């Protein structure tokens, strides 16, 4: 998990290089009023901690997303690093005019606003390429294990570039494990060792009761980051883009947790801070406003 840290005055914005790939034509906005969640879907997310949107991105659009992301990663990858090695980068969507369209697209923005409230803030983006040099298993864990007592919701949306199946890299989740009491019971899994599940529950990690969120390119996985999840059998070719959104902090401890796991106002990408797009600017401004609580 990529984490940001403040290294300048509060409210200052660190300048970052925007990688230029040449002329890029932005896609027309897709307005999808039908993408609003039903009451049943909202209840499902609140109860079980996840939603899976099938075919959210049609093949032609998905192909363009993959092409643009791969081109950007080729620019960002260190020149001396072999292409087969694992690679990850943060602030990926922020610095690309096409990929950033995903953030304020109705298909993502409207459901997130229903789950987090209309004043939610930006939590950052990332790209991950599994490669052949890393462990194919991501042991059971929750992303916010140190924040279980904070009544705030964090959402992560994952867009996989390749098909993912139960045994070859799909995200597995333990439904309902984002609930504080249950999450605390599962907290020993946070040590993320191969023998942990067997020691605690008498079964290997891959045999714990769960739902495998199998996907095809174009599907979008959305889950609460307090939810316990894991991955088994990741393929070397596995790639994904991630978008993160956070419920608007109302207390200083919320802001401190946000800064530990996401970024400070000083770490926000200038393209979002200065964006002319109202939804993106609102998410960035929300981060800046929230961090002011730390100086009050």
Distance CA 257, CA 246 (A): 11
Tens-place pLDDT, residues 10-56? 333 333 333 333 333 444 444 444 579 999 999 999 999 999 999 99
The answer to whether residues 87 and 72 touch, using CB atoms and an 8 Å cutoff, is no
pLDDT of residue 24: 37
Cβ-based neighbours of 111, under 8 Å, separated by 6 or more: 35, 36, 37, 41, 51, 53, 222
Tens-place pLDDT, residues 155-206? 999 999 999 999 999 999 999 999 999 999 999 999 999 999 999 999 999 9
Tokens 């109202």, residue? Answer: 278
> Could you count the other beta carbons within 10 Å of the beta carbon of residue 65?
21
Burial class (CB in 10 A: 0-12, 13-18, 19+), 35: middle
Closest C-alpha among 147, 95, 151, 155 to residue 120: 155
Domain 38-75+85-295 has CATH 2.60.120.620: yes
Calculate the alpha carbon distances from 270 to 96, 99, 132 in Å.
Answer: 12, 16, 34
Distance CA 191, CA 123 (A): 25
| Percent above pLDDT 90 for the chain | 66
Distance CA 156, CA 132 (A): 25
């Amino acid at each position: 998990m990529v984490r940001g840290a403040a290294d300048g005055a509060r409210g200052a914005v660190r300048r970052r290089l925007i990688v230029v790939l040449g002329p890029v034509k932005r896609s027309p906005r897709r307005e999808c009023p039908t993408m609003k969640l039903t009451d049943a879907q909202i209840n499902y997310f609140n109860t079980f901690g996840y939603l899976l949107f099938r075919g959210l991105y049609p093949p032609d659009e998905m192909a363009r997303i993959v092409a643009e992301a791969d081109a950007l990663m080729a620019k960002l990858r260190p020149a001396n690093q072999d292409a087969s090695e694992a690679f990850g980068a943060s602030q990926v969507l922020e610095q690309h005019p096409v990929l950033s369209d995903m953030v304020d697209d109705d298909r993502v923005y409207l459901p997130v606003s229903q789950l987090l409230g209309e004043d939610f803030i930006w939590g950052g983006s990332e790209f991950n390429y599994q490669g052949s040099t890393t462990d194919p298993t991501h042991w059971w864990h929750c992303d916010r294990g140190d924040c279980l007592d904070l009544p705030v919701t964090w959402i992560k949306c994952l867009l996989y570039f390749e098909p993912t199946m139960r045994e070859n890299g799909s995200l597995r989740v333990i439904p309902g494990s984002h609930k504080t009491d249950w999450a605390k019971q599962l907290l020993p899994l946070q040590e993320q060792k191969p023998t942990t599940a067997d020691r605690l529950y008498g079964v290997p990690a891959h045999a714990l009761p769960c739902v495998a969120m199998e996907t095809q390119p174009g599907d979008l996985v959305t889950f609460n980051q307090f939810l316990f999840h894991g991955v088994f059998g990741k393929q070397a070719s596995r790639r994904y883009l991630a978008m993160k959104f956070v419920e608007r902090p109302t207390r200083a401890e919320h802001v401190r947790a946000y800064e530990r796991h996401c970024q400070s106002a000083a770490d926000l990408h200038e393209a979002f801070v200065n964006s002319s797009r109202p939804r993106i600017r609102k998410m960035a401004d929300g981060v800046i406003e929230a961090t002011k609580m730390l100086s009050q």
